[in-house]
């Protein structure tokens, strides 16, 4: 394989983006964390710093959705998830800069406290429908229903799937691969692993498609925080293939390309595990950097677990993708209540 960074780009046709993010995000050495773990060398790709609406991974996806919504003449974005959703907060912020409104569907019922992302949603003036059910998959159908109601009322809604997980959104992470390729080439580094927290699977799908298209040397390992590994593998494979077709560069994926570990979920989505809390404290105390309780804390607990089990070697180079989510910390004060 030739060294990264010197091949001509393969011919791809990227759809339009509406710029939101401040790019490139930094790729920084996490030497304190690495030392605390006794190796390996770890870099952190700071996508918590995408620089719009409190940052995070949803911003790269939204650049594509927003461009398409504007091209369709939309006047309202419709999406859904939970009250502490980073995706809803970022989508609402994107709607506002484009002069649109945001109408969203949340699973469960109205939270009793205005905190974290839910507080930010209020500041953005989001209109919220609750499903009054903990079943998160009900949100998907309700997004369609709300969009249909708006259409009947003469509005021009543009619906974005839960988590921004579709081929179009995943292109944000195909682009991120190219961005990292330039950063890694400038640092003369060839990582063995990219590790990230996986939820609705679009981010991992985009990274995987990008790694294939640009012939990158690393494996992409997702630490799932909600769905089973089997469900993730199916979704990642499908979204990665669709994303590659969308840009006219279809890829072949084999099952061994799609790496997901499910043993770090704990008792469920959004429920903080002791290992997650430990990972959040460790990264705060070694790097002065904050992870979130739902995604990146579990993602980091996964990276630490894979290192301790020897599945990630001490002589390998790891990039951890910090996908953001810090506002969620403020909805989980219990993380700060252990006095070690």
298 vs 42: CA distance, rounded Å = 17
CA proximity to 182, closest of 7, 56, 2? 7
Residue 133 among the catalytic residues: no
Give the binding range for ligand PLP (CB under 6 A) out of 62-70, 140-148, 198-206, 308-316: 198-206
Asked if 25 interacts with ligand PLP (CB under 6 A), we say no
> Closer to ligand PLP at the Cβ: 201 or 289?
201
Q: In the complex with ligand PLP, which residue's Cβ is closer, 87 or 233?
A: 87
91 lies in the binding site for ligand PLP (CB under 6 A): no
Residue with tokens 């961005």: 179
How does 222-250 read in b/e, with b if 16+ C-beta sit within 10 Å?
A: bbbbbbebeebbebbbebbbbbbebbebe
Least distance from ligand PLP to the Cβ atom of residue 315, Å: 28
3-state helix, strand, coil in the chain (%, to 5): 45, 15, 40
CA–CA gap between residue 201 and residue 84 (Å, rounded): 18
Catalytic residue (choose from 85, 200, 226, 244):
85
E strand segments, the chain? 27-29, 41-46, 76-81, 101-106, 127-130, 157-159, 193-198, 219-224, 259-261, 317-322
Q: Residue 203, interface with ligand PLP (CB under 6 A)?
A: yes
Q: Which is nearer to ligand PLP, 4 or 56 (CB)?
A: 56
Check binding of 87 to ligand PLP (CB under 6 A).
Answer: yes
* Position 166 contacts ligand PLP (CB under 6 A): no
Own/partner pairs, 138-143, CB within 8 angstroms, 24+ separation: 138/107, 139/80, 139/81, 139/105, 139/106, 139/107, 140/80, 142/80, 142/105, 143/78, 143/79, 143/80, 143/105
Identity of the residue, 30 or 88, whose beta carbon is nearer to ligand PLP in the bound complex? 88
Residues of this chain, 121-150, that bind ligand PLP according to CB under 6 A:
none
Q: Which residue is nearest to ligand PLP (CB)?
A: 325
- In whole angstroms, the minimum distance from the beta carbon of 330 to ligand PLP comes to 14
Question: How many residues bind ligand PLP, per CB under 6 A?
Answer: 21
Should residue 78 be labelled a site residue for ligand PLP when binding is judged by CB under 6 A?
A: no
* Residue span binding ligand PLP (CB under 6 A) among the ranges 15-23, 55-63, 186-194, 262-270: 55-63
- Footprint on this chain of ligand PLP (rule: CB under 6 A): 56-58, 86-87, 163, 165, 197-204, 292, 295-296, 323-325
């Amino acid at each position: 394989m030739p060294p990264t960074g010197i091949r001509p780009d393969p011919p791809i046709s990227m759809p339009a983006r509406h710029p939101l993010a401040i790019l490139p995000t930094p790729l920084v050495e996490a030497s304190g964390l690495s030392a605390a773990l006794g190796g390996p060398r770890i870099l952190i790709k700071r996508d918590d710093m995408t620089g719009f609406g409190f940052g995070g991974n949803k911003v790269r996806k939204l650049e594509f959705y927003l461009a398409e919504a504007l091209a369709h003449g939309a006047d309202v974005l419709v999406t859904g998830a939970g009250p502490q959703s980073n995706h809803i907060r970022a989508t609402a912020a994107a709607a506002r800069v484009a002069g649109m409104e945001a109408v969203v569907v949340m699973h469960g019922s109205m939270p009793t406290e205005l905190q974290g992302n839910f507080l930010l949603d209020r500041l953005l003036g989001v209109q919220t429908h609750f499903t009054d059910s903990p079943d998160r998959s009900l949100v998907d159908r309700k997004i369609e229903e709300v969009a249909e109601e708006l259409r009947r009322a003469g509005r021009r809604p543009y619906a974005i799937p839960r988590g921004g997980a579709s081929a179009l959104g995943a292109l944000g992470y195909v682009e991120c691969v190219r961005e990292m390729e330039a950063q890694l080439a400038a640092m003369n580094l060839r990582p063995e692993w990219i590790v990230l927290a996986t939820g609705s699977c679009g981010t991992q799908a985009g990274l995987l498609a990008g790694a294939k298209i640009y012939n990158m040397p690393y494996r992409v390992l997702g630490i799932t925080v909600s769905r089973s590994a089997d469900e993730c593998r199916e979704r990642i494979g499908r979204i990665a293939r669709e994303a590659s077709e969308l840009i006219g560069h279809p890829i072949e994926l084999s099952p061994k390309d799609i790496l997901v570990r499910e043993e770090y979920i704990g008792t469920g989505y959004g429920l903080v595990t002791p290992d997650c809390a430990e990972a959040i404290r460790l990264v705060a105390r070694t790097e002065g950097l904050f992870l979130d309780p739902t995604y990146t804390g579990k993602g980091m607990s996964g990276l630490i677990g894979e290192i301790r089990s020897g599945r990630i070697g001490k002589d390998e180079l790891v990039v951890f993708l910090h996908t953001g989510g810090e506002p969620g910390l403020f909805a989980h004060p219990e993380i700060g209540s252990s006095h070690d």
